[in-house]
Structure formats: C-alpha cells, structure tokens
C-alpha cells in the first residue's frame, strides 16, 4: 500500500475483533457513573490553542511539545484536544453551568491527541473517560471519585492489579513557598542534576520530583519536603480524604513525589497505577483544581476530577485475562433459507422474531447458496443455533431448529411456537 493510505503513526484503528471489549468497558463505566448521578457532557475535539495554554500551563510537557496545533482557514490557531478538563471548564463557563454554585457532576468520553513517542500503552490518538465535579470543596467528593473507580476495578476484575497513589500539593500559595525552597536547594547543587531537571528548575521545578534520573533522585533525598510546606487547610482536607478511604477500606500509598504534569492541580492528586503494563503504568489519574475556573475567567469554583486511559485499561483486561467469555460470541442464531420462496418467507419470519425476542442477535443468510454452504457460514458465525428453512419446511410451516454447539438434536418447530422456543433455548 502506498504511504499516503496508511493511518498516521500512533493513531490506531479499533477493529471489529476489539470493539466488543471496548463497548463492554465503556458500557460498564457509563452504567457505574449513572449509578452515582454523574451526567455526560460532549465537547468538540478541536478548541482554540489559547484554551490549553491558559489552563494546562505554558511550560508543561503537553503544551511545550505534545500538542497538535494548526491554523485553520481563518488564520485561527486551533489544537486537537490533548485532554478533557480544559474544554469541560470552557463549556461549563460558556453555558453558565457552574455559576449558580450548585454541585455539578459531569463525565465525558472520547479521543485525545498528543504527539508523543508511540509505544505499548502510549499513542498519539488515545481515548479517555473523564469525570469533573464542580462546586464541591470538601474531601467527601474526592473520596467519592476514588470510591467509584475502586468499584469499577472490582466490576472489571482488576482490583488486585492496581494501586492507589495519593499526595497533596497544598494550595497554590503553599506550593509557591515550597517551590522557592526547592529551587533554592537545587540551585546550589545544579551540576548534580540531570539535564532535563536543570532545564525544569527554571520552567517547572516541581516536575523534578518525578525525574527518573538516579543522580537527581539521590539528591532529592535531602531536599525540602512538600509535606512540610502544606497549609493547614490542605492538611485538614487531606486528613479528611484519608479518613474516608480508611473507613471505606480502600488501600492507598502516600507518594510524596506525585506532582502530576499539569499546572492546574491543588490539594489532592492521585494516580491508579499497575505494574502489569511496563512503563505505561498509570491507568487513571486526577486531582483537585480549585483555582482553574477562576483562572479561566469564571467565579472562584472548586473543581476535582480524573481521567482514565481506555487503551491501557483494555490492555490490562487482556493481560489479566479478564475479558468476559460472552464477548466472543456476537451472533445467537443464524437463519439459512434455501430457495427463493423460502428466502421470502424467511424475511417475514426473521422480522417477526426480532419483534418478539428482545435483544435477539439474529443473522439472516445473505447471498443465497446451497444448504451446505449456508450451513458452513452458520457454523463460522459462532451462532449457537441454526434455523433452516427449505422447501419441505415451507410446505409444513415449520423451521428446522439445529443446535450448533452440541446442545441436543435437530427438531422441527412450528412457526407460531418459534419465538418462545428460541427464547427459552437461548436462556438455557
């Protein structure tokens, strides 16, 4: 194939073999969020570049080097969204959704775009489900967000494979004081820092905390600790969150180096990580961003949220063999009709069955063919039963009901009794 007809590197087709698992995952999350009273919001995939610069922060990895930015025909600078929070905040402000001060619990799903180096669990187009809550300032809602993800891991059968990491970044004032102390400490030891961290010391010093370089990590052992700079309000908030997680029996580890890549966080930050996916181990991440709405031009509005990476969670389900068996079968019944008269009768019969058996997954043979060839297709479809309509059956107004996976003998069933017969056979 010529190069121009290939998908862009890091942007994947999700093929028919994979979509059942995606739909199972998405349906499970949507059902869970419904159960907690969250409402879905859908934002555009493209926004003004300025939105991401202002919300995510100019000196973050995302804005510095990962965005897909282009000029449209009007000369406006637009960007494919790299995450969902910025657009969600823009949308709630634009539509006055948070202005009344009433709690708003929202979620979204969709593709995100970042120009990163593609590898397992890291793509240039990837998908997130995100949750954002506005106008609730207390640790109770932070706890609810964590609780519902915990419930999700339980429903998916992956609880044992994930760990909750928690930290508090304090208010932006507390963080600024800590940043000064950290910069002062590291500036005196500049030559001992790795190259990336030297650069970040000016632009985004907190990110140095999660540097992977051993020499930098060694240095950080004696550096000032963020926890010692926490303001009282943040400390009380964090204690409140931990108390709730303890009460709910949700295990966690405090990771003082967890700072998250985006500028807008304050107080609570958390990540769900796994050691089953290699380097791309964070499957869900979030935190509180009480200053963001005001920074984007709204009234001061508390906010907290998280986003999970669908590809990574799908990989985890596959790795842990937690793919429900039922997903393998997409067809319940395959209808074979031999001869033109039978084909016409099959048409009516199949439409009746669809009316009478809710949720029936019925594939009607298309393209005619001999009994033998239709039967082969029925078997290949994965269906549990074949329905056979030939000249004889037509004359007697019955249908041949044939189990394909060894559940009993073939028998003739009267047309009038077919729906009931089928429904009970599928239930067995």
47, 83, 144, 263: which one binds ligand ATP (CB under 6 A): 83
**C-beta of 68 vs 185, nearer to ligand ATP:** 68
Beta carbon nearer to ligand ATP, 123 or 238: 123
272 and 282 Cβ atoms separated by less than 8 Å: yes
361 binds ligand ATP (CB under 6 A): no
Task: Give the contacts of 215 (CB within 8 A, at least 6 positions apart).
Answer: 192, 193, 194
> First and final CA of the chain: distance in angstroms?
48
Looking at the Cβ atoms of 83 and 332, the one nearer to ligand ATP is: 83
Q: Under rule CB under 6 A, how many of the chain's residues touch ligand ATP?
A: 19
Q: Is 369 in the site for ligand ATP (CB under 6 A)?
A: no
88 binds ligand ATP (CB under 6 A): no
Site membership for ligand ATP, residue 390 (CB under 6 A): no
CB of 115 to ligand ATP, least distance (A): 9
Distance of alpha carbon 283 from alpha carbon 314, whole angstroms = 10
Q: Which residues, 6+ apart, have CB-to-CB distance to 88 below 8 Å?
A: 41, 43, 106, 108, 130, 132, 305
Residue carrying the six token digits 């009316």: 355
Among 69, 280, 295, 363, binds ligand ATP (CB under 6 A): 280
Assess 374 for contact with ligand ATP (CB under 6 A).
Answer: no
Q: Under the criterion CB under 6 A, does residue 114 sit at the interface with ligand ATP?
A: yes
* Location of structure tokens 């419904």: 34
Least distance from C-beta 111 to ligand ATP, angstroms? 10
Choose, by CB under 6 A, the member of 136, 220, 285, 386 that binds ligand ATP. Answer: 285
CA angle, residues 317, 322, 327, in degrees to nearest 5 = 100
Q: Which of 225, 127, 125 is nearest to 175 (CA)?
A: 225
Of the listed pieces 23-31, 277-285, 325-333, 358-366, which binds ligand ATP according to CB under 6 A?
277-285
Angstrom CA distances, 192 to 189, 197, 216, 217, 230, stand at: 6, 10, 7, 10, 27
Based on the shown chain and the rule CB under 6 A, indicate whether residue 352 belongs to the binding site for ligand ATP: no
Binding of ligand ATP by 257 (CB under 6 A) = no
**Applying CB under 6 A, does 132 fall inside the site for ligand ATP?**
no
Cα 228 to the center of its chain, rounded Å = 35
Distances (CA, A) of 168 to 172, 287, 337: 11, 9, 66
Stretch of 103-111, 243-251, 278-286, 376-384 contacting ligand ATP, by CB under 6 A: 278-286
Tell me: does residue 207 bind ligand ATP (CB under 6 A). no
Nearer Cβ to ligand ATP (12/363): 12
Q: Which is nearer to ligand ATP, 295 or 363 (CB)?
A: 295
Nearest alpha-carbon partner for 143 in 9, 298, 25, 306: 306
Residue of 307, 337, 342, 387 that binds ligand ATP (CB under 6 A)? 307
Q: Which of 311, 350, 353, 402 binds ligand ATP (CB under 6 A)?
A: 311
**Distance of closest approach, residue 282 Cβ to ligand ATP, in angstroms:** 4
Instruction: Give the binding range for ligand ATP (CB under 6 A) out of 93-101, 116-124, 140-148, 324-332.
Output: 116-124
Residue written as token pair 């995606």: 22
If one asks whether residue 263 binds ligand ATP (CB under 6 A), the answer comes out as no
Which is nearer to ligand ATP, 165 or 343 (by Cβ)? 165
* Contact by Cβ (8 Å): 113, 9: no
126 binds ligand ATP (CB under 6 A): yes
DSSP 7: P
Only one of the segments 95-103, 115-123, 359-367, 409-417 lies at the binding site for ligand ATP (rule: CB under 6 A); that segment is 115-123
Closest approach, Cβ 191 to ligand ATP, in A, equals 27
Six token digits for residue 235 = 């400390």
Q: Compute the C-alpha angle 307/308/313, nearest 5°.
A: 180
Query: DSSP states of 167-228 as a string?
Result: EE---HHHHHHHHHHHHHHHHTTGGGS-HHHHHHHHH-GGGGGG---HHHHHHHTTSPPGGG
Residue 65, both tokens: 């080097």
> Can residue 89 be called a binding residue for ligand ATP (CB under 6 A)?
no
By the 8 A CB rule, do 385 and 365 touch?
A: no
Residue numbers at the binding site for ligand ATP (CB under 6 A): 83, 114, 116, 121-123, 126, 128, 261, 280, 282-285, 307-309, 311-312
């Amino acid at each position: 194939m010529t190069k121009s007809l290939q998908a862009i590197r890091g942007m994947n087709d999700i093929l028919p073999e994979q979509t059942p698992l995606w739909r199972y995952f998405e349906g499970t999350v949507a059902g869970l969020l419904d159960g907690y009273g969250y409402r879905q919001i859908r934002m555009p995939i493209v926004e003004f570049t300025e939105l991401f610069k202002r919300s995510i922060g100019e000196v973050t990895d995302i804005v510095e080097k990962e965005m897909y930015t282009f000029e449209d025909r009007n000369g406006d600078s637009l960007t494919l969204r790299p995450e969902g929070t910025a657009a969600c905040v823009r949308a709630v402000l634009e539509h006055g959704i948070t202005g009344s001060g009433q709690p708003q619990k929202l979620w979204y799903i969709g593709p995100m775009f970042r120009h990163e180096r593609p590898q397992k669990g890291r793509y240039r187009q990837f998908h997130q489900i995100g949750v954002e809550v506005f106008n609730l300032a207390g640790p109770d809602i932070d706890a609810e967000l964590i609780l519902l993800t915990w419930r999700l891991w339980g429903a998916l059968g992956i609880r044992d494979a994930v760990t909750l990491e928690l930290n508090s970044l304090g208010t932006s004032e507390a963080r600024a004081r800590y940043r000064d102390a950290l910069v002062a400490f590291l500036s005196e030891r500049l030559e001992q820092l790795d190259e990336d961290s030297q650069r970040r010391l000016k632009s985004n010093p907190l990110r140095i905390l999660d540097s992977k370089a051993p020499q930098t990590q060694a240095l950080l052992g004696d550096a000032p600790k963020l926890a010692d700079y926490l303001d009282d309000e943040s400390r009380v908030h964090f204690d409140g969150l931990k108390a709730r997680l303890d009460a709910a029996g949700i295990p966690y580890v405090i990771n003082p180096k967890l700072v998250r890549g985006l500028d807008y966080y304050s107080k609570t930050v958390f990540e769900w990580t796994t050691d089953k996916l290699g380097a791309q181990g964070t499957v869900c991440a979030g935190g509180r961003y009480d200053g963001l709405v005001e920074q984007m031009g709204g009234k001061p509005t508390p906010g907290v949220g998280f986003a999970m990476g669908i590809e990574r969670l799908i990989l985890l389900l596959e790795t842990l063999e937690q793919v429900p068996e039922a997903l393998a079968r997409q067809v319940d019944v395959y209808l074979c009709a031999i001869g033109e008269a039978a084909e016409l009768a099959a048409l009516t019969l199949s439409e009746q069955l669809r009316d009478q058996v809710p949720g029936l997954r019925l594939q009607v043979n298309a393209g005619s063919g001999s009994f033998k060839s239709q039967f082969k297709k029925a078997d290949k479809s994965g269906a549990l039963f074949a329905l056979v309509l030939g000249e004889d059956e037509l004359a007697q107004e019955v249908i041949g009901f044939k189990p394909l996976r060894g559940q009993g003998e073939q028998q003739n069933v009267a047309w009038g009794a077919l729906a009931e017969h089928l429904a009970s056979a599928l239930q067995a």
